[in-house]
Amino acid sequence: MQQSKSLAVLFLVGTFVIGGALGFAADRALTHPGPPMCGPGGMRGYWDATTKEWGITESQRVVIDSLLDQQHEKVLALYSPLQSTLDSVRDRADALSDSTLGRIRLVLTPEQQAKMDQMRKDARERAAMRRACRDEALKGKRAAK
């Protein structure tokens, strides 16, 4: 009887963890589609479409682009002193995530494990691209000084 209760609790906990992981992945996929875009120029494709849709004139575009570039520089300056701390926290969070995913793998079928592995690989590639964009922007900022 005790073994049945333990198995039921383990099943419920596993279901909760897997559901949370899949919900998180689905949320990220739906709310953050596509590859990250680098620097102040990275959103230009999106912004080009928006300016056409809104009927933005060339003179308006020049002013808005300048404002967005200034904002980007200010945001970089805000984060710059914190970057090593943020990187350290990210590394620790990644280690915690890896540990949890290792335990989740124990309850998945081989097919489910392959899907989870692909999801994790894609997420790491997107994160690496974001870091490369950030590093490129910081390098450009340092070179301008």
pLDDT digits (tens, 9 = 90+) for 87-119: 899 889 889 988 998 999 999 999 999 999 999
* Locus of tokens 């590639």: 125
Q: Which two tokens stand for residue 141?
A: 């900022």
Look at residues 137, 143, 119 and name the one whose alpha carbon lies nearest to residue 40.
137
Domains of the chain: which residue ranges?
34-144
The DSSP secondary-structure symbol of 82 reads G
Residue partners of 80: CB distance under 8 A and separation at least 6: 138, 141
Look at residues 74, 73, 37, 68 and name the one whose alpha carbon lies nearest to residue 51.
68
Q: Is the model's pLDDT at 33 over the cut of 50? A: no
- Read off the pTM: 0.45
Q: Side chain identity at 82, as an amino acid letter?
A: L
